Structure 1
């Protein structure tokens, strides 16, 4: 009798598991159709009409799921807000994602229209177009959806909506209040966000913030990230003759701005990539406990070097995760005169370097920019914020125009935060594997205003595949990650806090 009872339980478990699998596949299939429809709406943050069309689509989709929705006006493009009816006895999660996407150059994509999603398989390193009809009978989770914002960041929005569908089908009493804020200018630094958070402070009030943006760790394991670096920029322009001059007539005589700029930039770092500007790394201390967490991240540094095709990494940190704990100083672009087939035998009139500085919580972006400008002055340059006048050019040997970009702050939540512990334990229980915990990621998500104003901890729980080509041509989302994202949202919203 006992044996029959055990077999019956096993049979029930198998049937339930099969039903769950079928239900998930059905939801994933629905998610694909919904994502195709969403991606079809262009979402370039530089085009206000694009954003308006996306807001209308989102309002309809969230309203269908029982959310109350609002379009929050800002000093530029509006934000999208949604919330389920509130219960004061429950803690509140605020989810942040963004609806805008990078601009596209259709000529660089391997499909006619980046906003018309294409389904592809990969065999032997070659991508092959597949028919969406082939997903009706079964779903190949290794196939991918190619289109702008499939991964960054429309995919996670669709995963969230479809997780809500499953929670409703299963009659789950969600143990949280849910609020969602969708940014419409994330891809252009979210300039209106700080003032908007202050304006809508009461509406956004929550216990903790979960950001669903960016890829999971390259290992593919579930990932929780406790912070992200901030960013600011500088544009530096040096000057030679007022107009380009014949290099035969004036080479060896007219000052060359390209060499001036190269010499000046070379003084900022040593040969192993460490910034030489005094005070640049001040305040950063990595104790043994922090180092242990950093080393627990399963990075394969040989694979990173092979994929990026360089022999030796810079020495700001002794390994990849350690390097991310320090502010960076990066030349993101340089130009002077003409190059390639357009190269001319001239002494250029100007040379320009575009710098970006990735920030950590210990570093203030405005302070670092001041340190750089002081260093430039110490190298003998007269600094101006505009194109120099004739009088200035005749008075100073070395002139540089410095243009400063805005500062987006870094953030970092304590690794022992109880809400972080909840996220990690829930993911480990659901996914049955160890969660990769990253202290701070290299990229920037502009959500510091939420932390500064709402005074709440924040965590990044990424959903998409690490090789998704975000911001680039042929951006894609692996179907397996759609299922993963739905499972993650479902698990988080069906599990009570300890």
Structure 2
């Protein structure tokens, strides 16, 4: 069997001359950036349905101008926009996904007056970002300039990029090599409840042969990136108990059990010092084949640079590289609290201690099953496990009591990297850029639309195009201009891919 990289090198598309889209992109880049500015200027927090509808209307008008049929689909909350166009009834259909909402903002933490008033900036010699006039877009455009604003990268950059690619094709009197459907999700940042509520009703409207999710950041090398899966997530909370009420640490220290120490002993039993999870069966069913290992090793990676960027001496030992670590489920303690939640400190033995945990899932692991394994581990450590606060009788009957509650939000998905779908896209990107794209077997984060992927049951890839350092979800979110330029080229290559 040919290895992954050997297979790529043997494919005939590698001998084709590099496709040159650069001239067309240069001609439209200024217009694209101005369109992007216009869209980012519309606040997109789902808490304001009127403004969300304004975002949807902006996009809808752009797609109508390209001859797309647009539909506003009712959901449990906000309206879903679906745009679709049949270029040839004999073609395959590709469904695209973007989200139109953004994360909440705290204007006081941004380095500009209004996060929804985008600012064009360049970096000075000291590395600080300084505002420059938008009129500079009418001259030579520097790829290192950035546009700062909420949703500038996540996810209004992909919306603008894909729109521009379709406009360029139309200007060239060309059409995509497949039929196109696009879902615009109004609540991705809040769990995609609107979209997921429509699956039963509109499954036939969403039906396609392939699915492309245009979200997330590209590899930190900023090379074209294809991601073939994402991890899922389950969450749980573990609460341990001391006395019925918080007790004075002077009077009752050394007598009333401290639930924090009990909790920390329990948590430390779940992982070794190298970060490997000790819960029985936690990694069950996971095998890294030689073919998968070669895909993982093809991703550019420097352990020294990666650790320096994180500010850590060394990584946990679940995998010997970052990509390999992502192939396993994780057990993360995201917050620990006690019964005291006010300001300042008190000299008390707390009434209870609670650890909030998230478990990142891979396709080999089911969320409910992983939570049951954690629950069993707690029992094996000698705890009486319940899903509520203990009764008075239980407090007097059991020495160690733990409340355990959990839920699976979404499981993982992964499309084989050697699927025909993946190979076709990869081939077009090689033709356009002259080198292999970075191929990510599975990314660490979770997209909430995995139930849609499972419902449609079609090959799916994630096509991330924005810069990794875009401050996603954080103050001073930004998009690098060069990533918009490159993203248009990626989309043009994709739109001319034959399936």
- TM-score, length of structure 1 as denominator length: 0.91
Which deviates further from its counterpart, 372-381 or 436-445? 372-381
CA positional deviation for 1:26 = 4.1
Deviates more, 1:75-84 or 1:87-96: 75-84
| Alpha-carbon distance, 1:134 to partner | 1.8
The answer for the alignment partner of 1:30 in structure 2 is 31
**Are the equivalent residues in 2 in contact too, given 1:221–1:433 (CA < 8 A)?**
no
Structure 2: gaps spanning 5 or more residues:
1-18
Residues 283 and 328 in structure 2, CA contact (< 8 A), matched pair in contact too:
yes
1:70 shift after superposition: 1.4
CA RMSD of aligned residues (A): 2.1
Please show how residues 390-401 of structure 1 align to structure 2 within 5 Å: 390-401=392-403
Residue 258 (structure 2) pairs with residue 276 (structure 1): no
Shift of 1:396: 3.0
1:154 aligned to 149, 153, 156, which one?
Answer: 156
**In the TM superposition, what is the alpha-carbon distance from 1:493 to its structure 2 partner?**
1.0
Between 306-315 and 71-80, the greater mean CA deviation after superposition:
71-80
Instruction: Give the CA deviation at 1:280.
Output: 0.7
Equivalent residue runs for 1:83-94 within 5 Å: 83-85=84-86, 87-94=88-95
- Residue 107, structure 1, aligned to residue 108, structure 2: yes
Contact 2:272 2:278 in 1 (8 A): yes
Q: Say yes or no: does 1:441 pair with 2:433.
A: no
Structural mapping, 1:342-491, within 5 Å: 342-491=344-493
* CA shift digits 1:298-329 (9 cap, x unpaired): 11111110111111111111221111111111
Equivalent residue for 1:264, pick from 243, 254, 266: 266
| Structure 2: distance between partners of 1:133 and 1:374 | 63
Whether contact under 8 Å (1:68, 1:85) holds in the other structure is: no
* Greater alpha carbon shift after TM alignment, 131-140 vs 265-274: 131-140
Q: Deviations over 1:244-281 (max 9, x none)?
A: 32211221122212111111111111111111111111
Instruction: Decide whether the 8 Å contact of 2:424 with 2:497 is kept in 1.
Output: no
Equivalent-residue separation in structure 2 for 1:357 and 1:45 (angstroms): 27
1:3 equivalent in structure 2: none
Q: 1:271 to 1:112 in 2, by over 3 A?
A: same
Comparing 299-308 and 60-69, the one that deviates more: 60-69
**Is the CA contact 1:294–1:322 (under 8 Å) kept in the aligned structure 2?**
yes
* Structure 1 residue 339, shift from structure 2 partner: 8.8
Partner of 2:310: 308
Q: Distance in 1 between matches of 2:391 and 2:108?
A: 41
* Bigger Cα displacement from structure 2, 77-86 vs 331-340: 331-340
Aligned counterpart, 2:333: 331
What is the deviation of 1:39?
1.7
Q: In the comparison of the two structures, how many residue pairs are matched?
A: 480
Checking the alignment, whether the CA contact within 8 Å between 1:450 and 1:456 is kept in structure 2 is no
Aligned mate of 2:225, from 223, 226, 236: 223
Counterpart of 1:81 in structure 2 is 82
Contact 1:45 1:187 in 2 (8 A): no
**Residue number in structure 1 paired with 2:11:** none
Q: 1:374 to 1:47 in 2, by over 3 A?
A: farther
Q: Provide the C-alpha distance between the structure 1 equivalents of 2:483 and 2:164, rounded to a whole number of angstroms.
A: 13
Higher mean C-alpha displacement, 246-255 vs 366-375? 246-255
Cα distance in 2 between the residues matched to 1:99 and 1:411: 23
Moved more, 228-237 or 27-36: 27-36
Displacement after TM superposition at 1:111 (Å): 1.5
Alignment match, 1:7: none
Contact 1:223 1:461 in 2 (8 A): yes
Partner of 1:42: 43
Any idea what SS the aligned residue of 1:358 has? strand
Match of 2:172 among 167, 170, 187: 170
- Distance in 1 (CA, whole Å) between partners of 2:62 and 2:243 is 59
Mapped partners of 1:386, 1:62: distance in 2: 52
User: Following the alignment from structure 1 to structure 2, what is the Cα–Cα distance between the partners of residues 263 and 47?
Assistant: 45
SS of the equivalent of 2:198 reads helix
* Structure 2: distance between partners of 1:188 and 1:373: 28
Query: In the TM superposition, what is the alpha-carbon distance from 1:128 to its structure 2 partner?
Result: 1.1
Structure 2: how far apart are the matches of 1:402 and 1:57? 46
Determine if contact 1:211/1:460 at 8 Å carries over to the other structure: yes
Secondary structure at 1:200 match in 2: helix
Aligned residues of 1:35 and 1:155 also touching (Cα < 8 A): yes
Q: Secondary structure at 2:399's aligned position in 1?
A: coil
Aligned equivalents of 1:395, 1:412: Cα separation in 2: 47
- 1:74-117 residue CA offsets vs partner (Å, 9 max, x unmatched): 23333221101353211111111111221112222111221111
- Structure 1 residues 58 and 383, CA, compared in 2 at 3 Å: closer, same or farther? farther
